[in-house]
């Protein structure tokens, strides 16, 4: 049972994703469709972000490196370890080793999903704005934003 509980983040994301998908396919109002796409999109962001999380990790903003001064590489190798150093820490914890070295290491969550999603969010708002602009134009041309009515008009013309 505990094997499956570790996957709860995916299930939450899938639930949200399917809600968005449902809105997209079940509703015929164009604005509602865009809202559904937005919900779907946010769930994809969440999917990526949950994958980057490491247990007991912290945000990938390095401690120990001071903002004002430039530091050499060698001074910081001990303090700031990467996310996958959680791996070593993990195995160390399993073997019940108590070492002072592990106590100082920080575990950082993976920064790469953050980077990808950061740009995706801003591109997402740009494309959403484009979609909304098209909706405004459709309303001006057809007088409605209901999908089936628009299709009806197209067929009759």
Of residues 9 through 48, those in contact with another protein by CB under 8 A are: 9-12, 14-23, 25-29, 31-32, 34-36, 38-39, 42, 45-46
Using CB under 8 A as the binding rule, whether residue 137 contacts another protein is answered as yes
Q: Could you tell me how many residues of this chain bind another protein (CB under 8 A)?
A: 103
The count of C-alpha atoms lying within 13 angstroms of the C-alpha of 34, restricted to the half-sphere facing its C-beta, is 17
Distance CA 35, CA 29 (A): 10
Contact yes or no for 80/64 (Cβ under 8 A) = yes
Q: Which is nearer to another protein, 4 or 98 (CB)?
A: 4
Classified as helix, coil or strand, 125 is helix
* Cβ atoms 43, 20 nearer than 8 A: yes
Please report, as residue ranges, which positions from 85 to 104 form the binding site for another protein (by CB under 8 A). 85-87, 89-90
What's the min distance (Å) between Cβ of 4 and another protein? 8
- Structural element, H or E, at residue 6: none
Nearer to another protein, 101 or 129 (CB): 129
Is 132 a binder of another protein (CB under 8 A)?
yes
């Amino acid at each position: 049972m505990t094997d499956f509980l570790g996957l709860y983040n995916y299930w939450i994301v899938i639930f949200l994703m399917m809600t968005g998908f449902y809105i997209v396919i079940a509703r015929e109002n164009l604005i509602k469709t865009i809202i559904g796409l937005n919900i779907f999109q946010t769930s994809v962001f969440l999917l990526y972000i949950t994958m980057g999380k490491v247990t007991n990790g912290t945000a990938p903003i390095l401690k120990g490196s001071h903002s004002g001064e430039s530091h050499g590489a060698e001074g910081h190798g001990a303090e700031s370890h990467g996310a996958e150093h959680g791996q070593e820490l993990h195995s160390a914890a399993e073997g019940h080793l108590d070492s002072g070295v592990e106590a100082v290491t920080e575990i950082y969550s993976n920064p790469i999903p953050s980077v990808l999603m950061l740009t995706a969010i801003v591109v997402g708002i740009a494309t959403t704005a484009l979609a909304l602009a098209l909706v405004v134009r459709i309303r001006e041309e057809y007088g409605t934003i209901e999908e089936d009515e628009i299709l009806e008009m197209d067929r009759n013309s």
